[in-house]
Amino acid sequence: MKIGYCRTSTTEQVAGFEAQGQMLLATGCTRIFREQVSSVAVRAELDAALDFVREGDTLVVSRLDRLARSTTDLLGIVATLERKGVALRILDFGGSEVDTKSPTGRMLLTMFAAVAEFERGVMLERQRAGIAKAKAEGRYRGRAPTARAKAHHVRSLSQAGIGASGIAAELSISRASVYRILAAGGRIVRSARTLFAAIAAELEDMHAVAIDAQAPGITADEGTALLAVLREGVDRLKRLIVKAA
């Protein structure tokens, strides 16, 4: 059985998130775990995927950086999979696929992870040096979040009668970001229609995730995982209502 895992760091990365899912489906994954969270945060869906896989299964990811945050993290994940008799397959590994079922694939994976971590360390060191220099010269102001920087455009399009989905597509941000911006301006509080549209959108997302989580001949473990997905959706809905109040 092929189990997929896809992740993006933010909810704004909609296109990349969808592309990962399509790649995994095209590979034949019958179950896909999805989440939009930073690699340094708790990755609940990755933990769920590692717990779900069984001997003989293959965990499939689109790229290495979607799975592991460092060489140590990668080796820990690979060790967990090996203990369970599960292979790891990376679809885009420098332009080709890598499968840990083969000794060569495992060696390449470990070497590549070490080089990637080294390059990231060098990049962060240069970034810190650049920021320090800019601060010393009084030129550093930080970077405003992408969605927040477009707040004025979001409100203008909303006032023009364009719905949340249309605004999100026009500005390349998520619907959740649109609702947060409108809520901050008091529009959801003043408009029950907008609030219910937000709730409906969240329910649509919950339904889509639930469908993705289902598989023919669902087992007890799969049922438990599906219930967890639905509970997470309910929690998201509750947070949305609290923010709008």
Phi and psi torsions of 222, nearest 5°: -65, -35
Q: Per the structure block, which two tokens stand in for 5?
A: 């895992």
Whole-number Å distance between alpha carbons of 50 and 33: 10
- Residues marked active site are found at 9
Radius of gyration of the chain (CA): 21
